[in-house]
Amino acid sequence: MKYKVPYTVTDSLSSWCPGCGHGIVARLVCEAAEELGISEKLIVVTDVACGSLLVGVLTFNNIGAAHGRPIITAAGAKRARKDAVVLAHIGDGAAYSIGIESTIHAALRNENIVALVVNNGVFGMTGGQMSPATLPGQKTTSSPAGRDVEYNGAPFDIVKTIGQYDIAYLARGSVDSPAEVTKAGKMIKKAFEYQLNNKGFSLVEILSPCPTNWGLSPRDSMRRVKEEQKVFYPVGEFVDRGGSK
């Protein structure tokens, strides 16, 4: 059990909604950075979505990218500052829709960065619209009758998309239980280690609740992550070439 708060977490109140998974993921980043001794050289790239709210509560160096562009901005930052550790902290709406070309081409180039995608299946900051990762039948503000796969297309799966690319690491975790949070933290730490060892592109997706836009209590939101999101998007490590190149 860990009770010590990483020093990169400030006393400021966060702006995340009660029950949001973003705060858990942000803390995992802080813990991994502290354990690896990289907190002072970590650059976190965010956009204008809910992930950007970590800027107000964490002390990392930060670059604010255009919406959907943290991954490509992080790639540029890393090329310019090879001594830094660079993390693109982004949501599923941005990584898989607005910035999908950045995600694909950064992976194809095996850019030596970490992309951390918090997947809650909606565009959270802009009002809960359907994202590429919205589940079949899931109601959102732009799909009030539920996602119709025939009409809207099938949900996007990053593992099926870049799983065959020559990248260092691809994993999906979840925050629906303490055990899963621990596993997710190890995934984030491993991705940082691979960047430190110049192994190339790592993407860690974390399944996470958005109680506000799901219209559920925090407890029911966690239940949905476990019983619906995780069933559709299995967690695990899908590419792990960090040690072999």
Residues at the contact surface with ligand SF4, assessed by CB under 6 A: 16-17, 20, 22, 50, 120, 124-125, 210-213
Min separation Cβ 207 and ligand SF4, Å = 12
Q: Which two tokens stand for residue 212?
A: 């506000």
- Cβ proximity to ligand SF4: between 8 and 120 the closer is 120
The b-or-e profile of 105-133 (16+ CB within 10 A means b, else e) is ebbeebbbbbbbbbbbbbbbbeebbbbbb
Integer CA distances (angstroms), 190 to 90, 151, 157, 177, in order: 18, 39, 21, 20
Minimum CB–partner distance for residue 211 and ligand SF4 (Å)? 5
Say if residue 178 is exposed, middle or buried (CB neighbours under 10 Å; 0-12, 13-18, 19+): exposed
Q: Is 238 helix (H, G, I), strand (E, B) or coil?
A: strand
Q: Where are the alpha helices (DSSP H) in 64-217?
A: 70-80, 92-93, 100-108, 149-152, 158-162, 178-196, 211-214
Q: CB 118 → ligand SF4: shortest distance, Å?
A: 8
In the complex, minimum distance from the CB of residue 196 to ligand SF4, in angstroms, rounded to a whole number: 29
Contact 181, 28 (CB under 8 A): yes
Spatial distance between the Cα atoms of 108 and 165, rounded to a whole number of angstroms: 7
Instruction: Decide whether 78 or 224 has the Cβ nearer to ligand SF4.
Output: 224
Residue type, 123: F
Q: Least distance in Å: CB of 122 to ligand SF4? A: 7
Based on CB atoms, which residue is closest to ligand SF4, 17 or 104? 17
Give the separation between CA 37 and CA 42, rounded to whole angstroms: 10
| Residue among 200 and 211 whose Cβ is closer to ligand SF4 | 211
| Minimum CB–partner distance for residue 140 and ligand SF4 (Å) | 12
